[in-house]
């Protein structure tokens, strides 16, 4: 019985590790605000894709929009609707997506 529990625990740990490597399957709250304009995969569009971009780049851009340092037509208003923690979560999630 103990061996079975140990084996099941090891399988669960390996599954969790693989899941973490693949990125979170569920987008964080607010990600739908991004996907309306940003392509879900790499594409040559005027609006750059977020998938696979480094989290630090996304955070820097969002903070620039939020503070008004970077002019925008819509992003400045969208960025102001997110807390710093929400921006961090979104950036980390998009950075993990492939």
Sequence length of the chain is: 98
Residue 16 lies in a domain: no
Domain residue limits at 82 = 26-96
Query: Rounded to an integer, what distance in angstroms lies between the CA atom of residue 38 and that of residue 45?
Result: 9
Residue 38 near residue 30, CB atoms below 8 Å: no
Count of domains forming the chain: 1
Placement of tokens 């899941």 in the chain: 19
Query: Rounded to an integer, what distance in angstroms lies between the CA atom of residue 66 and that of residue 72?
Result: 10
pLDDT at 24: 55
Residue 1 lies in a domain: no
Q: What confidence tens digit (pLDDT) does each residue in 8-67 have?
A: 444 444 433 334 444 557 999 889 889 889 887 767 778 889 999 999 999 999 999 999
Query: Any idea what the CATH number is for the domain that residue 36 is in?
Result: 1.10.760.10
> The whole model's pTM is what?
0.71
In the structure encoding, which two tokens stand for residue 96, read together? Answer: 């993990």
Residue 62 near residue 79, CB atoms below 8 Å: yes
Q: What confidence tens digit (pLDDT) does each residue in 68-82 have?
A: 999 999 999 999 999
Query: Could you tell me where the DSSP H helices lie in 1-98?
Result: 2-22, 31-35, 55-67, 75-80, 84-96
DSSP annotation of 38: S
Residue 12 lies in a domain: no
């Amino acid at each position: 019985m103990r061996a079975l529990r140990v084996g099941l625990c090891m399988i669960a740990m390996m599954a969790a590790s693989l899941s973490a490597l693949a990125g979170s399957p569920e987008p964080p709250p607010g990600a739908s605000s991004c996907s309306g304009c940003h392509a879900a995969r790499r594409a040559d569009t005027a609006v750059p894709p977020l998938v696979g971009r480094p989290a630090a780049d996304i955070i820097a851009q969002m903070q620039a929009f939020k503070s008004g340092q970077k002019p925008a037509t819509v992003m400045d208003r969208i960025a102001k609707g997110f807390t710093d923690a929400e921006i961090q979560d979104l950036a980390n999630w998009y950075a993990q997506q492939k």
